[in-house]
C-alpha cells in the first residue's frame, strides 16, 4: 500500500469532506481515490447504511451513505457529491459525502481526544477532533464506520 | 531475507513433488526392482529437502533428510523394499503433506511432530549388519547423497574401513572469502563438487545449516575419496571465493585426535547445536529457530501457464488496440460501413480474448486425480478388498477454482464405490465376477462443460432398499414412491440425511454423504446424477461448467432495477395472467401444466421500491429450478440473454442473502446476480 518515505508527514494529513455542514476528516493513508458519483446500484438486504455498489474501473465497490450512517436526513445526489474510495484491512469501500475539496495537515497536539465528550454510542467512530484555524474537524476512525456490529 | 514472496512457489512446487512421490512410490510397490523409480523418488525428495531448507522449514528438511538416508540404502541394495518400508515412506509423505498444508494456512509448519517417524526411519537404517555394508557401497557408487549427521564413532568406523580399502580420508577446513556474497550458495558449490569425487561423511556445521547459511566463514568436512591430497586441493582451487583450505589426512590411528578437534570446533560454532551426534536432538534444536520464522501472510492461489497461451493473449490484446485506433478514426469520418466492420471485428476479438483468458485459468484435472491411486491403495488394504483403479482423461482441463473444489466430492464418491459398491472378495467370487473390483474414473470435455464419471463394477444400488429407506426417512411418501420411475428413485440417495449402508463404517455411511457431494457440485454450478444396474455396478456422472467466471444469464427488469438470473438455474420462461394466481395457505401458486407452481415476487423478495401491481395484464414468469424443486419468479420485464462476467460484491457485502454477485453491464452500471437457489 501507500508507503512514502516521510511517514511523519503522511500521518498528519487528512482528506477533509463535509456532511450536513459539518467537516470530517479521514487519514490520507486510507484514501485511494476520490470519485464523482456515477450510477449507484441498490443492493437489497444489505445493511441500512449501504447506498449500493458502483463500477469502479471494472471492480464492484460497495458505497456507504455517511448521512444514513450518521442518522442524518437523506438528500438528492448533486454534482457536488463525492465518493471517497477507502482501503481498510484489504477491503475497498466507498463513502458517499456531500463534497470534498481539500487535504489538511493537522498536528497531533491540535487534535483533542473524544474522551471528555459525553460518551454516547454515536461517537465511537470518532477518533478525535482536529482544530484548524477556527474550524472543528471530526476525525473518523475508518474501521469503525464499517463495523457491522455498530448498526 | 524475507522468504514470504517465495512462499507461493514453495507451496505449489512442494505439493507437486509430494504428489509425484506418492505416485512413484505406488508404482514402486508394484515393481520393487525398478531402480529408475527409486532414483526418481530420491531426486524429488532431495529437491524438496533443498527447497524446504532454503525456506527455513526445518521440520520438512529433517524428515526428508532422514527419508533420503533410507532411500539411499534402498537404492544401494542394502535394504530390501518391503511393505514395511513402503508403509513408513507413505507415512512420511503424509506427514510432509501435513506440514505443507499447515504452512499454507498459517505460514509456519508448526510443531515438530515427526520425531517418531524419524526414529522409525533410523531404525530401518541402523540394523547393525547393514551399517557396515552401507559405508562401502556409498563409496563405490559415488552417490550424490550426504550421510551427514551420524555418530562420531560411526565416522571413525567409516574412516577405518576406508583406509583398509585403500581410500583416503581427509578433514577439510574451508574458509570462504569474507567478501563472498552468497555464502550458502558458494558452500553448496564446494560440497557438490566434492560429492562428485568423494563421499562426504561428516560436516560441521551440518549440511543443512550450511545450506541455511548458519555458519560464519569456515566449515569443516570429512570426506572419503580415491583421490590424494593434491588432487583434492586442485579440485577445491578451481572454485572461487575460497580464502583458504586446510587439508588434514586422516589415518585410522589419528582419528581419536581428530574427533576431539571436531568436538572442539562444535563447541565454538554453536553451543546449542552441540549435539550433531543425534538426529533427534538436532531436529529439536532447529525447531526452536524455526519459531522465529513464523510469519503471517497467507498464500494466494497461483496457476502455471503455458507461455504459448500468454503469447496468444498478448496477440489478442494488440489486436484490440488496433481496433481501438480504427474505431477512433471511423468516428471522425462517420462512415457507417466501416463502423460496422470494426464492431464486428471487435466482437470477434473479445470472443477470442474470453477464450484465451479462460484457457489461462485451465489446469489438467490430473492434479486432482493424482491423489486417488494412493487413497484407493490404502482403502483397499483397510477393507481387504482388491481394487484396481482406472483413470482416463486426466489431461482434461478445468478451471482452477474447480480443481480445488472438486477433490473432496470425488474422494467421497470413490470411497462410496469401494465401501458400498464393490462387494467383499468372497461374494464377488461366488457371483462369478473378477475378484479384483474395478473403479473407473473418467473425465472428458462435453461441449461447454466437463464430465467426470466415477464408475464401479460392484453390486449396484438396490432400488427397493432406497425406496423403503426414503419412505422411512420421510423423504418421499408411499404414494409418491409408487408413481416414481426407478431412475428417479435412485437419485434419492442424494437427498439430505440419506444413507443405505447397514453398518456404519469409518469410510462412509454416516448419512451425511451424498447430499454434501450434491450441494458442493451445485455450488460449482454443476450437476450430479447416478446410473445404476443391479449387480453390474453404478456410475456417478458429474457435469461441471468449463468456467465459473463467465456465465450465460437472463437479464430482467424489476421496477426500475435490472437483475441477472443465471441461465443454468432457469427451467423455462412463460407468461401468466396475474389474476390466475391463487393463494393457498398464504403462499401464492398458479396451476401450470396441471401442476401447482409456487409464485415468488422478486419485487418483494428484493424489496424493490416503486413497483406497482398491474392487476389484469400478463406478466412474464421465470421458472427456476433447484434439484427437483421449481418455482416461478414473477418479474416486470425481460431484457434478454447475455454473457456476463461474474464479479464479487467485495468482502463487505459478500454474504448478502439472495445475491450471488454482480456484473457490469454494457453501459457501465452494475447489475446484481440473483441467487435463485436461496429462495427455493
The per-residue pLDDT for B261 is: 41
**pLDDT tens digits for range B472-520:** 877 777 887 777 777 788 888 887 767 655 444 444 444 446 777 887 8
Contacts of B473 (CB under 8 A, 6+ apart): B495, B497, B498
DSSP symbol at A121: G
B69-73, B133-137, B385-389, B440-444: lowest mean pLDDT where? B133-137
**pLDDT tens digits for range B181-199:** 677 777 777 887 777 777 7
Does residue B531 sit in the same domain as residue B394?
yes
Range of the domain at B14: 1-126
For residue B69, the Cα-to-chain-centroid distance in whole angstroms is 27
Identify the architecture of domain A7-150 in CATH.
Beta Barrel (2.40)
Spot the catalytic one: B138, B279, B312, B416: B416
**pLDDT tens digits for range B647-664:** 888 778 877 888 888 998
* Residues in chain B, total: 680
* Residue A146 CA: distances (Å) to CA of A41, A141, B396, B654: 19, 10, 44, 14
Active-site residue flag, B68: yes
Does residue B334 sit in the same domain as residue B228?
no
Q: Is B569 exposed, middle or buried (0-12, 13-18, 19+ CB in 10 A)?
A: buried
Identify the CA nearest to B535 among candidates B437, B453, B415.
B437
Does residue B340 sit in the same domain as residue B204?
no
Work out whether the CA dihedral B54, B57, B58, B60 comes out positive or negative: negative
Distance CA B416, CA B460 (A): 11
> Domain containing B272 — which CATH number?
3.30.70.1110
For A62, the closest of B561, B607, B653 (CB atoms) is B653
Contacts of B472 (CB under 8 A, 6+ apart): none
Does residue B443 sit in the same domain as residue B482?
yes
Question: A35, A36, A40, A43: which to substitute to probe chain B, counting the most B Cβ within 10 Å?
Answer: A43
Which of B237, B256, B289 is the C-terminal boundary of a domain? B289
Q: State the smallest CA–CA distance between residue B669 and chain A in angstroms.
A: 6
Q: State the smallest CA–CA distance between residue B331 and chain A in angstroms.
A: 23
For A60, the closest of B607, B647, B658 (CB atoms) is B647
Residue B547 clears pLDDT 80, i.e. is over it = no
Question: B605, B653, B662, B676: which to substitute to probe chain A, counting the most A Cβ within 10 Å?
Answer: B653
The pLDDT of B614-637, averaged and rounded, is 82
Spot the catalytic one: B17, B29, B40, B46: B46
Residues of chain A contacting residue B649, judged by C-beta atoms under 8 Å apart = 43, 53, 60, 62
For B662, the closest of A45, A60, A146 (CB atoms) is A60
Contact status, residue A83 vs residue A54, Cβ threshold 8 Å: yes
Closest chain B residue to the Cα of A143, Cα to Cα: B652
Does residue B538 sit in the same domain as residue B620?
no
Q: Which of residues 597-626 of B touch A (CB under 8 A)?
A: 605-608
The per-residue pLDDT for B644 is: 86
Q: State the smallest CA–CA distance between residue A98 and chain B in angstroms.
A: 22
> Domain containing B674 — which CATH number?
2.40.50.180
Does residue B15 sit in the same domain as residue B34?
yes
Q: State the smallest CA–CA distance between residue A123 and chain B in angstroms.
A: 22
Rounded to the nearest integer, the mean pLDDT of chain B is: 77
Active-site residue flag, B416: yes
Number of Cα atoms under 13 Å in the Cβ half of residue A6 = 4
Q: Quote the percentage of chain A above a pLDDT of 70.
A: 83
Can you give the three-state secondary structure of B622-669, one letter per residue?
EEEEECCEEEEEECCEEEEEEEEECECCCHHHCCCCCEEEEEECCCCC
What is the C-alpha R_g of chain B? 33
Would B388 be classed as within a structural domain? yes
The pLDDT of B130-136, averaged and rounded, is 39
Reduced to 3 states (helix: H, G, I; strand: E, B; else coil), residue B512 is coil
Taking the Cβ of residue B648 and every Cβ of chain A, the question of whether any pair is shorter than 8 Å is answered with yes
Identify the CA nearest to A67 among candidates A81, A87, A86, A54.
A81
The per-residue pLDDT for B242 is: 77
The pLDDT of B518-533, averaged and rounded, is 82
ipTM value: 0.83
The per-residue pLDDT for B327 is: 82
Does residue B562 sit in the same domain as residue B614?
yes
Taking the Cβ of residue B671 and every Cβ of chain A, the question of whether any pair is shorter than 8 Å is answered with yes
The more confident residue out of B624 and B510 is B624
In chain B, the number of structural domains is: 5
The per-residue pLDDT for A26 is: 92
Closest chain A residue to the Cα of B607, Cα to Cα: A44
Q: Which of residues 557-586 of B touch A (CB under 8 A)?
A: 561
Q: Kindly state the cell numbers that stand for B267.
A: 563447541
**pLDDT tens digits for range B46-64:** 888 888 877 778 888 888 8
Does residue B142 sit in the same domain as residue B269?
yes
The pLDDT of A119-138, averaged and rounded, is 77
Q: Please give the backbone phi and psi of residue B611, each rounded to the nearest 5 degrees, phi first.
A: -105, 130
Which of B545, B567, B600 is the C-terminal boundary of a domain? B545
> Domain containing B35 — which CATH number?
1.20.120.160
Taking the Cβ of residue B132 and every Cβ of chain A, the question of whether any pair is shorter than 8 Å is answered with no
The pLDDT of B207-227, averaged and rounded, is 77
Does residue B561 sit in the same domain as residue B648?
yes
Q: Kindly state the cell numbers that stand for A55.
A: 463500477
**pLDDT tens digits for range B255-309:** 443 444 444 444 444 433 333 333 333 344 344 344 344 433 445 667 778 888 8
Which of B510, B545, B580 is the C-terminal boundary of a domain? B545
Q: Quote the percentage of chain B above a pLDDT of 90.
A: 6
The per-residue pLDDT for B633 is: 92
The per-residue pLDDT for B504 is: 44
Cis peptide upstream of residue B205 (ω within 30 degrees of 0) = yes
* Residue B114 CA: distances (Å) to CA of B91, B106, B151, B287, B293: 10, 18, 20, 11, 19
Q: State the smallest CA–CA distance between residue A106 and chain B in angstroms.
A: 30
CB pairs under 8 A between A and B: 69
Does residue B407 sit in the same domain as residue B507?
yes
Pairwise CB contact (< 8 Å): B647 & A59? yes
Pairwise CB contact (< 8 Å): B650 & A62? yes
Q: State the smallest CA–CA distance between residue B365 and chain A in angstroms.
A: 30
Does residue B481 sit in the same domain as residue B499?
yes
pTM over 0.90: no
**pLDDT tens digits for range B2-37:** 566 677 778 888 888 888 888 888 888 888 878 888
The more confident residue out of A115 and B135 is A115
Number of neighbouring beta carbons within 10 Å of residue B454: 24
Strand partners, B221: B172, B203
Identify the CA nearest to A57 among candidates A83, A79, A78, A81.
A83
The pLDDT of B565-584, averaged and rounded, is 87
The per-residue pLDDT for B678 is: 81
Number of neighbouring beta carbons within 10 Å of residue B445: 13
A18-22, A114-118, B630-634: lowest mean pLDDT where? A114-118
Residues of chain A contacting residue B653, judged by C-beta atoms under 8 Å apart = 43, 46, 50, 53, 62
Would B301 be classed as within a structural domain? no
Residues of chain A contacting residue B678, judged by C-beta atoms under 8 Å apart = none
Amino acid at each position: 500500500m501507500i508507503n512514502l518515505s516521510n511517514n511523519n508527514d503522511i500521518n498528519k494529513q487528512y482528506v477533509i469532506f463535509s456532511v450536513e455542514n459539518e467537516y470530517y476528516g479521514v487519514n490520507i493513508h486510507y484514501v485511494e481515490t476520490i470519485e464523482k458519483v456515477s450510477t449507484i446500484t441498490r443492493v437489497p438486504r444489505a445493511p441500512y447504511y449501504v447506498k449500493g455498489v458502483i463500477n469502479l474501473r471494472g471492480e464492484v465497490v460497495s458505497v456507504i451513505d455517511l448521512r444514513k450512517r450518521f442518522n442524518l436526513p437523506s438528500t438528492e445526489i448533486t454534482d457536488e457529491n463525492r465518493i471517497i474510495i477507502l482501503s481498510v484491512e484489504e477491503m475497498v469501500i466507498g463513502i458517499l459525502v456531500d463534497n470534498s475539496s481539500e487535504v489538511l495537515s493537522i498536528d497531533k497536539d491540535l487534535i483533542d481526544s473524544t474522551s471528555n465528550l459525553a460518551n454516547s454510542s454515536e461517537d465511537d467512530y470518532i477518533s478525535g477532533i482536529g482544530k484548524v484555524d477556527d474550524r472543528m474537524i471530526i476525525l473518523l476512525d475508518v474501521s469503525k464506520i464499517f463495523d457491522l456490529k455498530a448498526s | 531475507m524475507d522468504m514470504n514472496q517465495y512462499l507461493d512457489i514453495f507451496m505449489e512446487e512442494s505439493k507437486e513433488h509430494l504428489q509425484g512421490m506418492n505416485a512413484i512410490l505406488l508404482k514402486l510397490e508394484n515393481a520393487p526392482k525398478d531402480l529408475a523409480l527409486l532414483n526418481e523418488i530420491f531426486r524429488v525428495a532431495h529437491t524438496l529437502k533443498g527447497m524446504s531448507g532454503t525456506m527455513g522449514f526445518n521440520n520438512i528438511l529433517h524428515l526428508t533428510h532422514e527419508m533420503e538416508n533410507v532411500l539411499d540404502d534402498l537404492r544401494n541394495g542394502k535394504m530390501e523394499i518391503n511393505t514395511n518400508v513402503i508403509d513408513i515412506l507413505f507415512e512420511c509423505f503424509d506427514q510432509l503433506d501435513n506440514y505443507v498444508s499447515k504452512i499454507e494456512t498459517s505460514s509456519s509448519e508448526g510443531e515438530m511432530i515427526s520425531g517418531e517417524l524419524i526414529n522409525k526411519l533410523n531404525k530401518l537404517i541402523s540394523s547393525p549388519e547393514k551399517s557396515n555394508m552401507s559405508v562401502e557401497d556409498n563409496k563405490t557408487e559415488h552417490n550424490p547423497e550426504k550421510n551427514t549427521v551420524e555418530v562420531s564413532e560411526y565416522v571413525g568406523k567409516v574412516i577405518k574401513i576406508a583406509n583398509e580399502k585403500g581410500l583416503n580420508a581427509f578433514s577439510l577446513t574451508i574458509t570462504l572469502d569474507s567478501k563472498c556474497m552468497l555464502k550458502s550458495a558458494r558452500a553448496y558449490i564446494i560440497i557438490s563438487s566434492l560429492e562428485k569425487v568423494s563421499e562426504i561423511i561428516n560436516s560441521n556445521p551440518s549440511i543443512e545449516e550450511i545450506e541455511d547459511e548458519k555458519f560464519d566463514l569456515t566449515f569443516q568436512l570429512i570426506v572419503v575419496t580415491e583421490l590424494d591430497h593434491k588432487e583434492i586441493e586442485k579440485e577445491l582451487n578451481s572454485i572461487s571465493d575460497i580464502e583458504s583450505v586446510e587439508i588434514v589426512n586422516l589415518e585410522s590411528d589419528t582419528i581419536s585426535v581428530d574427533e576431539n578437534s571436531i568436538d572442539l570446533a562444535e563447541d565454538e560454532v554453536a553451543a546449542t547445536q552441540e549435539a550433531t551426534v543425534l538426529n533427534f536432538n538436532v531436529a529439536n534444536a532447529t525447531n526452536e529457530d524455526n519459531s522465529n520464522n513464523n510469519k503471517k501472510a497467507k498464500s494466494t492461489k497461483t496457476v502455471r501457464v503455458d507461455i504459448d497461451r500468454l503469447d496468444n493473449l498478448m496477440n489478442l490484446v494488440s489486436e484490440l488496440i488496433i481496433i481501438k485506433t480504427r474505431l477512433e478514426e471511423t468516428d471522425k469520418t462517420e462512415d457507417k460501413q466501416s463502423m460496422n466492420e470494426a464492431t464486428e471485428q471487435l466482437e470477434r476479438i473479445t470472443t477470442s480474448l474470453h477464450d484465451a483468458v479462460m484457457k489461462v485459468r485451465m489446469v489438467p484435472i490430473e492434479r486432482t486425480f493424482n491423489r486417488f491411486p494412493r487413497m484407493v491403495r490404502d482403502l483397499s488394504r483397510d477393507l481387504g478388498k482388491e481394487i484396481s483403479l482406472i483413470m482416463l482423461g486426466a489431461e482434461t482441463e478445468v478451471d482452477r477454482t474447480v480443481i480445488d473444489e472438486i477433490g473432496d466430492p470425488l474422494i467421497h464418491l470413490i470411497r462410496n464405490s469401494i465401501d458400498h459398491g464393490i462387494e467383499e472378495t468372497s461374494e464377488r467370487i461366488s457371483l462369478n465376477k473378477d475378484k479384483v473390483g474395478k473403479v473407473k474414473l473418467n473425465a472428458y470435455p462435453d461441449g461447454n462443460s466437463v464430465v467426470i464419471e466415477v464408475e464401479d463394477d460392484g453390486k449396484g444400488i438396490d432400488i427397493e432398499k432406497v425406496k423403503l429407506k426414503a419412505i422411512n426417512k420421510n423423504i418421499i411418501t408411499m404414494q409418491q414412491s409408487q408413481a416414481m420411475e426407478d431412475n428417479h428413485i435412485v437419485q434419492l440417495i442424494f437427498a439430505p440425511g440419506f444413507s443405505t449402508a447397514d453398518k456404519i463404517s469409518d469410510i462412509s455411511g454416516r448419512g451425511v454423504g451424498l447430499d454434501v457431494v450434491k450441494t458442493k457440485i451445485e455450488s460449482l454450478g454443476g450437476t450430479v446424477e447416478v446410473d445404476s444396474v443391479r449387480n453390474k455396478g453404478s456410475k456417478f456422472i458429474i457435469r461441471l461448467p468449463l468456467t465459473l467466471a463467465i456465465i450465460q444469464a437472463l437479464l430482467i427488469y424489476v421496477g426500475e432495477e435490472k437483475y441477472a438470473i443465471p441461465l443454468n438455474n432457469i427451467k423455462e420462461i412463460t407468461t401468466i395472467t396475474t389474476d390466475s394466481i391463487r393463494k393457498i395457505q398464504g403462499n401464492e401458486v398458479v396451476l401450470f401444466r396441471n401442476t401447482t407452481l409456487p409464485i415468488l415476487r422478486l419485487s418483494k423478495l428484493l424489496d424493490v421500491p416503486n413497483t406497482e401491481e398491474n392487476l389484469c395484464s400478463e406478466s412474464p414468469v421465470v421458472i427456476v429450478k433447484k434439484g427437483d424443486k421449481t418455482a416461478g419468479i414473477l418479474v416486470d420485464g425481460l431484457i434478454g440473454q447475455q454473457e456476463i462476467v461474474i464479479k464479487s460484491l467485495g468482502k463487505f457485502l459478500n454474504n448478502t442473502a439472495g445475491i450471488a454477485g454482480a456484473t457490469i453491464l454494457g453501459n457501465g452500471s452494475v447489475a446484481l446476480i440473483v441467487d435463485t437457489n436461496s429462495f427455493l
